[in-house]
Amino acid sequence: MSVVNVQDLQTGQVYPLRLGESLRIGRQDPTSQPDLPCKDPHVSRRHCELQLVAGNRIRVRDTSSYGTYINEQKVDREAYARAGDRLRLGYKYTVVILEPVAAGMPTQLEGRKPGAGDETVLTVTPGHAPSQLGKYEIERELGQGGMGVVYKAYDPDRDQPCAIKVLRDSSEDDGAERFRREARLAQLLGDYPAIVKVYDWGQVGPRALYLVMDFVDGKSLTDHIREGLDRLIGSRLVSRTARAVAYAHDKGVVHRDLKPDNVLVTRDFQVRLTDFGIAKEDGSGLTLTGMAMGTPNYMAPEQI
């Protein structure tokens, strides 16, 4: 038996729907307790009901005053949806039907129905990208780091690709604080063309943090070195990286993990410095005395 997941694109939460079960969607107030609550004045208290039937089809019953739409086609009392379909409730509230999974298998982005007593959990599983994160459509995994996983995604508002970095585990206060600081510092430095710009960040539930940044179509400096890099081109890349680092220093930010993996090179050999996860800002106190931060092989001798 399969489980079809319904994702609220406003909150990122995912609600499992099993064969024969129903999912009530509506605006939550003291007189209404829907399974999927919507905070939107143009969503009715009992807006619609979804039921999984044979063939992984979802029966959609519209009981609203504002209308329910499947892929922008208005539902006349009852219609059927499938995986990949988008449901618009009222003027703009949107949920999406995700691909079915085998019953008992965990979803990559799993929400809980209100009242279940569980927190929303984003499970970062290397090699298994979630299909959706908020409004962003995940395409594939780009790479992994110590703090999290980076995915290539599509931003529907900008109509262009983006990169999303998801914190592997934000249950530790220190890791979550460093992640938030990376977002803030990257936004501070993002006006410089050789530094990857972070333009959005968010949280799905109390523990799942993510950053949204410009997608760099290219390779890391590490990849270019392994493939054999022309000396003249290499010197230009290093020079451009040094100017980006100097710009960060002028803003009072020390990267502290400068290495070829964190220098991205576009197809036309422009530099994009990234990963300010352990960067230090003047006056910040996240590093304890005697604690070294960075990748040992690329740290200055005085840091070790």
Let me know: does 186 contact 196? Beta carbons within 8 Å: yes
Backbone angles phi, psi at 39, to 5 degrees: -100, 80
Per-residue confidence band for 147, with pLDDT thresholds at 50, 70 and 90 = low
Alpha-carbon dihedral sign for residues 278, 272, 122, 134: positive
> Is 8 a residue of the active site?
no
Residue with tokens 């995994």: 141
pLDDT, mean of residues 186-195: 79
Q: 119-304, superfamily in CATH?
A: Transferase(Phosphotransferase) domain 1 (1.10.510.10)
Residue 120's pLDDT is 41
CATH number assigned to the domain covering 2-110: 2.60.200.20
* CB contact set of 172 (below 8 Å; sequence gap of 6+): none
Instruction: Give per-residue pLDDT as tens, 243-267.
Output: 988 888 888 887 777 888 889 999 9
Segments of the chain assigned to CATH 2.60.200.20: 2-110
Q: Which amino acid is at 58?
A: I
Backbone angles phi, psi at 297, to 5 degrees: -65, -15
Segments of the chain assigned to CATH 1.10.510.10: 119-304
Would the pLDDT of 158 be above 60? yes
Burial 107-134 (b: 16+ CB within 10 A, else e): bbbbbbeeeeeeebbbebeeeebbbbbb
Q: Which of 8, 35, 62, 257 is catalytic?
A: 257
